[in-house]
Amino acid sequence: MRHPSITRIAVDDQARGLAIFGLSQLLGTSGFLVTYLAAVVTGAAQYHARQQVEHFFEGMAWLAQIALFVMLGLLVTGHFLRMGSAARSPSARALPREHPMTTPS
């Protein structure tokens, strides 16, 4: 019997997780709780590519964290940096006082 590729197993696990989340939302239950419980059951199971699948999902978690912090970084503006204790930092003093898109009245 030929085993499926490791990448296919990881992608299948991810697709099952998304399907479980969507189905539980359609039924009106907590999608996060059901997905968490499914992940606990899947994590407790023994199968031949478990270590490689864990490695795949660790990489996916890193990519999600990178995307999260990039999105959070895009929300920071110069006005926000000048407020509070950040106003005393040298980098905050280098920022312009007025927003470039506003005209003084």
pLDDT tens digits, one per residue of 73-95: 888 776 665 565 544 556 656 66
User: Does residue 29 form part of some domain?
Assistant: yes
User: Does residue 103 form part of some domain?
Assistant: no
The number of domains in the chain is 1
Q: Is pTM, for the whole model, over 0.75? A: no
pLDDT, the chain, mean: 79
**Burial class for 50, CB neighbours closer than 10 Å (0-12, 13-18, 19+):** middle
User: Does residue 98 form part of some domain?
Assistant: no
Low-confidence ranges of the chain (pLDDT < 50): 86-87
User: Does residue 102 form part of some domain?
Assistant: no
| Residue pair 66/20 in contact by the 8 Å Cβ criterion | no
User: Does residue 1 form part of some domain?
Assistant: no
Identify the H or E element spanning 64. helix 50-75
User: Does residue 54 form part of some domain?
Assistant: yes
Could you tell me the residue range of the domain that residue 60 belongs to? 6-93
pLDDT at 12 (0 to 100): 86
User: Does residue 74 form part of some domain?
Assistant: yes
User: Does residue 30 form part of some domain?
Assistant: yes
